[in-house]
């Protein structure tokens, strides 16, 4: 293999190992004994499929480097120099793009990125204004989900007297939802004049956002003996079933002391199913936070630390700006942002995380 100047030796070694393993797997998948063993064949097929795009990208890069070496030899020929210079410039640009793609493919994928998301938003400091801000954030993510043709399934909410939400939760289904929204978790802060403020003073309020991958039963093993399940009458607005049947459910996971409550549906059975789904996602999310916190301890410039108390973003209405404090990014058109136009900030956060993970890969 050529020693690519654009790739560090550590990355080149990893890539060469991947190509060797890719070729080895291709040969094994043609072996009759492997084909006869369905479980092993499936396992090796998945590994081959995971390595295939990286191996192909690296081999394509190798071919382009070889082509460039051939073009450079033509630069010595006066009759071919002009054409060779144009070809060399084009190849060099293509090689730079291919090198970036190879490096991107080397970054370990988060296995949760393709999962659906349980989104929870809670009002923080600021009383009724915080509840109104929580409702604004719910609307923002709902609009963004609509733009991406994701579906949203309500999982429960608690309204405040002002009309906002003390807390609200929902399941967002679609393609790569967690991979898109996972950096939204944290404390969001708003600075604006509340509708109840008679003297025009700017108030600061907060709301916390939790973006958790939807956990299947195979993702989180829960022992039934570790659960305390309480049923009670529903409370608040909700129709004839409120305060007439024991339909509300609270489930507490004793080992972690995580508790969830659901009174979304009239049926106790349905509320129990929703509560269990919430519980599984919270348990999985706690483990993800722990892993990310350990990773962040090794690197200071980290987009996601797993700390839900971390102030991640400020929405400043008087100055019509949004600032993401983790990457120092500020943009204007706050009304558009709250209306779901948040893709540019999401992509910037993902790019920062990829850069951080690439740095870790080079050091490993």
Q: Is the pLDDT of residue 143 over 90?
A: yes
Mean pLDDT of 61-72: 90
CA distance 219 to 214: 9
CA distance 363 to 73: 35
Quote the DSSP letter at residue 196.
Answer: T
Give the model's pLDDT for residue 239: 42
Q: Which residue intervals of 148-259 are DSSP H helices?
A: 177-181
- State the pLDDT confidence band at 3, using cuts at 50, 70 and 90: very low
- State the pLDDT confidence band at 150, using cuts at 50, 70 and 90: very high
End-to-end CA distance of the chain: 22
pLDDT tens across 175-232, in order? 999 999 999 999 999 999 987 676 778 999 999 999 999 887 767 888 889 889 988 8
Mean pLDDT of 236-262: 73
63-72, 265-274, 317-326 — which is least confidently predicted?
265-274
Phi, psi torsion values for 331, nearest 5 degrees? -140, 160
Give the model's pLDDT for residue 207: 95
**137 to each of 61, 165, 284, how far by Cα in Å?**
44, 10, 23
**92 to each of 74, 212, 239, 315, how far by Cα in Å?**
15, 42, 67, 43
99-108, 133-142, 148-157 — which is least confidently predicted?
99-108
pLDDT tens across 303-312, in order? 554 455 678 9
Percentage above 90 pLDDT, the chain = 48
Give the model's pLDDT for residue 243: 47
Torsion of CA 149, 150, 156, 161, to 10 degrees: -40
Q: Is the pLDDT of residue 297 over 70?
A: no
Instruction: Indicate yes or no: pTM above 0.85.
Output: no
Q: Is the pLDDT of residue 21 over 80?
A: yes
Give Cβ neighbours of residue 221 (< 8 Å, ≥ 6 apart): none
Give the model's pLDDT for residue 338: 96
* Burial track 322-336 (b if 16+ CB lie within 10 A, e otherwise): bbbebbeeebeebee
* Contact between residue 119 and residue 141 where contact means Cβ atoms under 8 Å apart: yes
Helix (H, G, I), strand (E, B) or coil at 204: strand
163: number of Cβ within 10 Å: 10
Q: Is the pLDDT of residue 99 over 70?
A: yes
CA distance 177 to 333: 24
Does the structural domain 117-358 have CATH classification 3.30.70.1660?
yes
> What's the maximum distance between 2 C-alpha atoms anywhere in the chain?
93
* Burial track 267-285 (b if 16+ CB lie within 10 A, e otherwise): ebeebbebbbbbbbbbbbb
In whole numbers, what is the pLDDT of the chain averaged over residues? 86
* Contact between residue 250 and residue 227 where contact means Cβ atoms under 8 Å apart: no
Q: Is the pLDDT of residue 43 over 50?
A: yes
């Amino acid at each position: 293999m050529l020693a690519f100047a654009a790739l560090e030796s550590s990355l080149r070694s990893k890539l060469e190992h991947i190509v060797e393993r890719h070729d080895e797997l291709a040969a094994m998948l043609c072996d009759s004994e492997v084909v006869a063993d369905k479980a092993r064949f499936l396992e090796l097929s998945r590994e081959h499929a995971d390595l295939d795009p990286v191996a192909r990208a690296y081999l394509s890069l190798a071919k382009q480097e070889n082509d460039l070496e051939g073009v450079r030899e033509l630069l010595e020929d006066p009759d071919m120099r002009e054409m060779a210079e144009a070809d060399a410039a084009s190849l060099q640009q293509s090689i730079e793009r291919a090198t970036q793609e190879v490096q991107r493919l080397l970054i370990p994928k988060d296995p949760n990125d393709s999962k659906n998301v349980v989104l929870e938003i809670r009002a923080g400091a600021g009383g009724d204004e915080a509840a109104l801000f929580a409702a604004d954030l719910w609307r923002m993510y709902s609009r963004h989900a609509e733009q991406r043709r994701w579906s949203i399934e309500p999982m429960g909410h608690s309204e405040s007297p002002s009309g906002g939400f003390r807390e609200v939760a929902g399941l967002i289904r679609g393609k790569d939802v967690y991979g898109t929204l996972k950096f939204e978790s944290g404390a969001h802060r708003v600075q604006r004049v509340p509708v109840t403020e008679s003297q025009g003073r700017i108030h600061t309020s907060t709301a916390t956002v939790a973006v958790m991958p939807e956990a299947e039963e195979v993702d989180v093993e829960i022992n039934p003996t570790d659960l305390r399940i309480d049923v009670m009458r529903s409370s608040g607005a909700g129709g004839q079933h409120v305060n007439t049947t024991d339909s509300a459910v609270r489930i507490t996971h004793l080992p972690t002391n995580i508790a969830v409550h659901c009174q979304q549906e009239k049926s106790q059975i349905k509320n129990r199913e929703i509560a269990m789904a919430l519980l599984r996602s919270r348990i999985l999310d706690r483990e993800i936070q722990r892993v990310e916190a350990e990773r962040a301890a090794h690197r200071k410039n980290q987009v996601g630390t797993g700390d839900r108390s971390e102030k991640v973003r400020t929405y400043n209405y008087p100055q019509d700006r949004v600032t993401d404090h983790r990457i120092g990014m500020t943009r204007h058109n706050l009304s558009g942002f709250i209306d779901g136009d948040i893709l540019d900030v999401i992509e910037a956060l993902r790019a920062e995380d990829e850069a951080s993970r690439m740095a870790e890969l080079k050091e490993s």
